[in-house]
Amino acid sequence: MITSAFIAAAAVLPHPLDNTAFKRGDAGYPIDAWDLVAFDRSARRWLQGTPPVLKDRATLGEMIRVLSLTPAKAADSYARRPATYVANINECPTCGSTGPGRVCNTCGVERVRQTEVRPWNAKAKYCAAWAEHHENLHHRPVGDDLWTRAATAANQLATEATTAAFASASQTQIRLEGIWHDDATGFDIPLRTVLNYAPETTSKYGNMLGSLSLTNDATRGTWERFAINRSAHVAAALKQDLWAAATGNPRPTHAWVLVERLEPYLVARRRSTPSVLEAGRLRLASIMARYCLAIRDNDWPSLDPEHADPDVAFSPVDYEPWMALPPDPHLHTSFEPGQEVVTE
């Protein structure tokens, strides 16, 4: 159970923290919701995987969060890499040949200095100097195309009336830290997470906290199945409970603001029911119990058990009725009766 928590910072940037002082598999390693979900899927993959570091390339999800939730801070930590640069070239006024030499070998005429717009090229002197300049400033470089996509998606979030109102009623990007105490092992595990939205208690969203998620498909039914499969309810339960322990102001509902990763960057809104959060809490407790045992016993199971009996060593794949469900059980509700629906 969570025994203590506090708000460590607000308006934090979403890039990875420096975790190099800790080692996965040690009880002192600070874990966030992502770690727990990854551990739950495969303890060994999580243990042996490489933690994200600041040098990693910025992702679309990261940039949408920056531009949507903390836009004033974008310029402090990120640099938009131009798509092109202006190259200086020497051009012969007689034959038009270009090259590094100041004099044209064919015509014997002095070349004239010209400029040319070229696609960005990391090897070019100008581009290398740009990269070094921003590296010295500890800016994360972001490609022009990625930045444009993130800005377009952030603009969609800002343009939709409800998501804009939800965001402007909220403190954003709140870093929560806390301790999970496990009775069976006696471990106190440091937890930390970033809460994307915390609406003011007095606003009409005052019973909610929220996450901003990037998704391939926010269609109702499709997203829910994907999200629960990826343990979005576990992450939500962790955020809700850390907030409650840190502030003494528990919120009953978790909101998910969704934005699709491709044009036209549709925006969607979902909210948790009490039962989905309760399922998330139960799963969270079960993961934490297994996580503490894995640390204590230094036993990090892979995907299937090693066993002399092949029936045990090879996990069975059975046909389950849900595998035959169409991808979107709510599809029919999006269309008028009698309208022809093509689903494939």
Contacting residues toward Zn ion, per CB under 5 A: 92, 94-95, 97, 104, 106-107
Q: Min. distance of Cβ 260 from Zn ion in angstroms?
A: 54
For residues 195-208, one letter each, b for 16 or more C-beta atoms within 10 angstroms of the residue's C-beta and e for the rest, the string is bbbbbeeeeebeeb
Q: Min. distance of Cβ 107 from Zn ion in angstroms?
A: 3
Q: Please, which residue, 67 or 92, has the CB nearer to Zn ion?
A: 92
Q: Min. distance of Cβ 61 from Zn ion in angstroms?
A: 52
Residue 97: exposure state from Cβ atoms within 10 A (0-12, 13-18, ≥19) = middle
Q: Please, which residue, 98 or 171, has the CB nearer to Zn ion?
A: 98
Quote the crossing angle between the two packed helices 274-297 and 232-247, to the nearest 10°: 90
Strand 78-81 with 140-143, pairing:
parallel
Q: Please, which residue, 94 or 286, has the CB nearer to Zn ion?
A: 94
Q: What is the CA radius of gyration of the chain?
A: 26
3-state DSSP assignment of residue 216: coil
Contact predicate 235/31, CB 8 Å:
no
Q: Please, which residue, 94 or 334, has the CB nearer to Zn ion?
A: 94
* Helices and strands counted in the chain (H then E): 11, 11
Q: Min. distance of Cβ 96 from Zn ion in angstroms?
A: 7
Q: Which of 49, 63, 56 is nearest to 18 (CA)?
A: 56
Q: Min. distance of Cβ 104 from Zn ion in angstroms?
A: 3
Q: Please, which residue, 97 or 203, has the CB nearer to Zn ion?
A: 97
Q: Please, which residue, 19 or 97, has the CB nearer to Zn ion?
A: 97
Q: Min. distance of Cβ 90 from Zn ion in angstroms?
A: 11
Write the DSSP string, 278-330. Answer: HHHHHHHHHHHHHHHHHHHHT----SS---SSHHHHS------GGGGS-S-TT
